[in-house]
Amino acid sequence: MTAETTRLKIAGDWTERSDGWWLSTPASSVRQIARTMLAAGARFVTIVALPEPVNTMQLSWHWDIGGTLLSVVSIIAEGASVPSIVDIYPGADWAERETRDYYAVTFEGRADTQPLMLRDSDKPGVLLCQTGEKL
Amino acid sequence: MSYSIPIGPYHIALEEPYKIEVECEGENVVGSKLKVGFNFRGIEWLAQRKNITQSIALLERVCGICSNVHSMSFCMTLERIGNIEVPARGQHIRMIMAELERLHSHLLWAGVAAELIGFETLFMQIFRLRESVMDTLESISGNRVNYSMNRIGGVNRDLLDDAKIRQVARGIRSLTETVLIPLLTTDQTVIARCKGVGVLSREDAIAYGVVGPVARASGVDTDLRRDQPYLAYDLVEFSVPFQTGGDVLARVVVRALEIVESCKIIDQVLDRMPQGPIHAGEIYHVPAGAAALRIEAPRGEVFYYIASNGSDIPDRVKVRTPSFANIPSVAAMVKGNTIADVPLIQAALDPCYSCTDR
């Protein structure tokens, strides 16, 4: 399946940018999108978290299909949880654990919730720390 | 009866810290757990507090092997946000550096693999070739590891001795075609040690999201230089080698064939090297905006995402390295193999823990 046919299968208003195609969608639909991506043979690339000014966080999930980057972006409230896609894409395991370590985002439905980069006793959200602040 | 063997985080065969806990039944591996993060340096946090000129040097230290690709990806992402056009000569010099770095990385890996296979003579031959690449990189940049070649809008130094670069590339191509590839594909020692070991199926390769030579060895025909050309890759001819075996041997062969392709690219880039400026001037900040960028690093796709607020300190710098995508697949590769195969399977991935932990 091509990037174009995959986009058509995922309902929504896709926008073309210089870095690929982007879709804004609620986080609750990411599992269904992941299933469609897997069926299309898309490769999971990564998750990017971006804190926004007013207690919100932008989360984007990225896939590659035939060299085209398809990105799905959601705005969530700070401290909110989002569904995990690890059971669909095992390759998302480290990306989810790292996002929790760095920005304290909780991924629901995971069997393994161990930190990736931090120690077990560390508080998640290390990239939210200010200069001089300790975990 | 099953038992578990902890390997690492400090291990004699790997210079970087990493832990794999292998679950065995007799000699056979039935499961594994991976642990990284021993080398976590908070590079993304730092990059969100330094200005973008300082961060070029910082990002170059993500990896000790493919340092150039990180500073280049960082600059190219900012150039995409700022719609900054890099002069043609600057783009061609970036390609030369990128392909020399690929040669350096693949030859280093091939040498380590030869050592692990137990083929000491081959290790010596490969490292002799690698040294000629290191000398060339040093003659271009003044450095053997962190080359400081990239700046926003181009490169810092021009090429002074095209003939030497061409001579080294042709020498490596000749020895790879006449010695390295025949040895790796026909020698019984190599085949006996690598064939059928550490298989990653095409389906698992997609599910785990592996990239670069690891993906190509499992039948996933992907290479960003061809699929989404950047710099001047659309102007040169090269093949994308791929295999369907998915085993250690397939990963060995793919990388050996890629060495030849990199040499071909270097030769063509030198042939068509344009005259003119090597950078677009003094650029210290980019407008507000965000962009993702992907580059085909020696170990596979590297992903950068930068969100700029218009100042010289970005809001977000995200780095996803190829090893971060590839290492989790070790769990699928080691399953069903013997404990003695684990070091070779890990090495065949060409993992970089410094990149992974950042």
Residues 267-306 of B with CB under 8 A from A: 290-294, 301, 303, 305
Query: Could you say which of 3.40.1350.10, 3.40.50.2300, 3.30.460.80, 3.30.300.20 is the CATH number of the domain covering A3-128?
Result: 3.30.460.80
User: What is the mean predicted confidence (pLDDT) over B120-143?
Assistant: 91
pLDDT at residue B16 above 80? no
| Torsion, Cα of B111, B207, A106, A58 (10° steps) | 90
Q: What is the pLDDT of residue A69?
A: 95
CATH no., domain B51-326: 1.10.645.10
SS3 B117: helix
Percent of chain A predicted with pLDDT > 70: 99
Of B38, B7, B42, the C-alpha closest to B23 is B7
Is residue B353 pLDDT above 90, yes or no?
Answer: no
CA atoms within 13 A on the CB side of A95: 28
Q: Which residues of B touch A37 (CB under 8 A)?
A: none
CA–CA separation, B128 and B306 (whole Å): 39
Query: Percentage of chain B surpassing pLDDT 70?
Result: 99
Task: List the single range of A3-7, A120-124, B11-15 with lowest mean pLDDT.
Answer: B11-15
pLDDT at B131: 93
> What are the pLDDT digits (tens) for A58-114?
999 999 998 899 999 999 988 789 999 999 998 899 999 999 999 999 999 988 888
* Predicted pLDDT of residue B12: 60
- φ/ψ of A69, rounded to 5, equals -90, 125
Choice between B132 and B6, residue whose per-residue pLDDT is larger: B132
Residue pLDDT, tens place only, B343-352: 888 888 888 8
CB-CB under 8 Å, B45 with A127: yes
Tell me the mean pLDDT in the region B156-165. 91
Strand duo A81-83 + A106-108: pairing: parallel
**B357 in contact with chain A, both atoms CB, cutoff 8 A:** yes
- Name the residue ranges covered by the structural domains of chain B: 51-326
User: Quick one: pLDDT at residue B14?
Assistant: 65
Q: Between residues 107 and 146 of chain B, which touch chain A (CB distance below 8 Å)? A: none
Closest-CA distance of chain B to residue A49, Å: 8
The per-residue pLDDT for A3 is: 83
CB A47 within 8 A of CB A61: yes
Cα separation, B261 vs B334, whole angstroms: 30
Average pLDDT over residues B64-70: 90
Q: What is the pLDDT of residues B291-335, one digit of tens each?
A: 999 999 999 999 999 999 999 999 999 999 999 999 999 889 988
Which chain A residues touch B207 with a CB distance below 8 Å?
Answer: 38, 89-91
Note whether B209 contacts A92, CB cutoff 8 Å: yes
Q: How does pLDDT run across B97-111, given as a tens digit for each residue?
A: 999 999 999 999 888
Tell me what ipTM this predicted complex has.
Answer: 0.92
Give the integer Cα–Cα distance in Å for A97 and A118.
10
Average pLDDT over residues B179-201: 87
**Which pLDDT score is estimated for B50?**
92
State the pLDDT at residue B340: 85
Which member of A18, A92, A102 has the closest CB to residue B291?
A18
Phi and psi at residue B204, in whole multiples of 5°? Answer: -65, -35
- The domain limits of chain A are 3-128
DSSP tag of A40: T
For B33-49, write each residue's pLDDT tens digit. 888 888 888 999 999 99
Inter-chain touch B320–A46, beta carbons under 8 Å: yes
| Chain A: closest CA distance from residue B326 (Å) | 9
